[in-house]
C-alpha cells in the first residue's frame, strides 16, 4: 500500500502546477466568479456539448451583477443612522456617493 501511495504522490508532484490549474478551469470548477474565464470551460466551446452555455452563463452573471449592485445599495442605506446626526453633528446623507 505504501508503495502505491508513494507512486500516486510522485505522479502528482511531477505534473506542472499550470496543468492542474487549467484542468480545473476547463471543467468549470475553479473559474473566476465574475465570468471572465467562462470561455475556458470545455463544453462551452463551439465544438463542445453545450456551446450556448457561455452565453447563458454571461446572462446569469449580468443578472447577478445587477441584483448585487441593488443589494449593496440597500445595505448601504440601511446602515445610515439618522439619529447619529443629533449625537455628533455629522450629516450622514451628505457622505453618500451614489
What is the value of pTM for the model shown? Answer: 0.51
Model pLDDT, residue 88:
62
Residues 41-96 pLDDT 10s: 999 898 989 999 888 888 888 887 776 666 676 677 666 666 665 666 665 555 55
| C-alpha dihedral (26, 29, 30, 35), degrees to nearest 10 | 80
Amino acid at each position: 500500500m505504501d508503495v502505491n501511495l508513494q507512486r500516486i504522490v510522485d505522479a502528482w508532484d511531477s505534473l506542472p502546477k499550470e496543468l492542474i490549474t487549467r484542468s480545473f478551469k476547463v471543467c468549470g470548477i475553479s473559474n473566476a466568479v465574475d465570468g471572465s474565464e467562462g470561455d475556458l470551460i470545455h463544453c462551452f466551446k463551439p465544438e463542445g456539448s453545450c456551446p450556448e452555455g457561455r452565453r447563458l452563463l454571461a446572462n446569469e452573471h449580468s443578472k447577478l451583477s445587477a441584483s448585487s449592485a441593488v443589494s449593496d445599495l440597500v445595505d448601504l442605506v440601511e446602515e445610515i443612522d439618522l439619529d447619529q446626526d443629533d449625537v455628533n453633528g455629522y450629516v450622514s446623507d451628505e457622505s453618500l456617493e451614489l
